[in-house]
């Protein structure tokens, strides 16, 4: 299992808007990447509303976080 410097397991959280059609491809891509890198991680897929996305200050849909850090460059809004 992949671990960070503190010995905690990697956590991946994916936030997806209600209208976003990319969940299936996202699930496949995450699984493929984890397998290719031989990493075990806890993966959460979260369908959320536009209001929830605004509260979380998400950059877009999907928004992917690894160990609490968003992969999308900050300052680029556009949750769809």
Residue 78's pLDDT is what?
Answer: 55
Domain boundaries, the chain: 10-70
pLDDT of 75 above 70: no
Label residues 4-40 b or e (16+ Cβ within 10 Å = b).
Answer: eeeeeebebbbbbbeebeeeeebeeebeeebeeeeee
Residue 59's pLDDT is what?
Answer: 79
pTM for the model: 0.78
The span from the CA of 60 to the CA of 62, in Å, is 6
Domain 10-70 has CATH 3.90.1150.10: no
Q: pLDDT tens, 7-59? A: 568 999 999 999 999 999 999 999 999 999 999 999 999 999 999 999 988 87
Average pLDDT of the residues in 60-79: 80
């Amino acid at each position: 299992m992949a671990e960070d410097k503190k010995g905690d397991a990697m956590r991946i959280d994916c936030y997806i808007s209600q209208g976003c059609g990319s969940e299936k491809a996202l699930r496949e891509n995450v699984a493929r990447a984890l397998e290719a890198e031989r990493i075990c991680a806890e993966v959460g897929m979260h369908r959320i509303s536009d209001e929830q996305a605004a509260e979380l200050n998400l950059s877009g849909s999907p928004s992917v976080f690894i160990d609490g850090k968003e992969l999308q460059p900050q300052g680029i809004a556009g949750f769809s």
